[in-house]
A = this chain, B = another copy of it.
Amino acid sequence: MSSPLPGVQALLFDVFGTVVDWHGSVTKELERVGKQHGIEGDWKEFATTWRRGYLENTRRIAQGGKGPSSVDIMHREILEDILTSEKWKALSDKLTSQARDELNLVWHRLDGWPDSTPGLYNLKKEVIIATLSNGNVRLLVDMAKHADLPWDTIFSAELFGSFKPHSINIARSDLKVYLGAVKHLSLDPQNCAMVAAHVYDLRAAAGVGMRTVYIPRQGEDAGVGEVKSKGEGGDVDVVVQSFEELAKLLAGN
């Protein structure tokens, strides 16, 4: 059987949603903080709103707009913004500036999906594994320590002065991020595969010649429908259900 990822020497991973469960982890932390102050609320919705602010900001900046280049700063500004709304006034009244800074760091302590850590350890034996995330370097380093993610190295959009796109309309600036990582690995694009739970990320990576691995994750890619591999009439190279499955597939390369 021919390999579906011939010549692939490195995997570049989207992180938020693909490797870690941002929605579950942020909701849990908000619940904890709410309980601490005796406040009830729809913490799932708070988490979703926070994430939506991030998506809107990175999309705008990837298309040439102005805004913070560090996701830490961006998350902090969005948090401030959410807390000004009448809906979250009770929480806002309780949170000092320092408490907000601490809450903001929840994005550094996201938990991996159950297959993430064992799968990455297996994959690391086969190929180079690295992040390719919009998260800033320090956020990704802290998260790796927290969730035991054994990256060979961390590539962040921050290193390349842009963000990955959040739409399939690829701006030229977006290409810097994918091609920056590929260049620093001394590889051609076809020898790297992007791994993501978001089909727009994979389409952008394919646009610069990279291979693509899709992994469906709960709550991600809402409304996209089933993503299929090329062998099944779709447009990504491989679809897997876990990183462990991907490791088995590459071990057979």
Give A residues with C-beta under 8 Å from B: 70, 72, 128, 130, 136-138, 140-141, 144-145, 150-154, 156, 158-159, 184-187
Contact = CB atoms under 8 A, between A and B. Distances in A.
Interface of A is mostly: mixed
Contacts of A156: 184
Given A136-B186, A138-B186, A152 B159 contact: no
B141 A128 contact: yes
In the complex, the count of this chain's copies comes to 2
B138 A185 contact: yes
A5 to B, nearest CB: 19
Contacts of A150: 150
Contact of A141 (B70, B152, B158): B152
A159 B145 CA distance: 23
A151 B150 CA distance: 9
Given A145-B152, A153-B151, A137 B72 contact: no
21 contacts: A72-B186, A128-B141, A128-B145, A130-B141, A136-B184, A136-B186, A137-B153, A137-B186, A138-B185, A138-B186, A140-B153, A141-B153, A141-B185, A144-B152, A145-B152, A150-B150, A151-B153, A153-B153, A154-B154, A158-B184, A159-B184
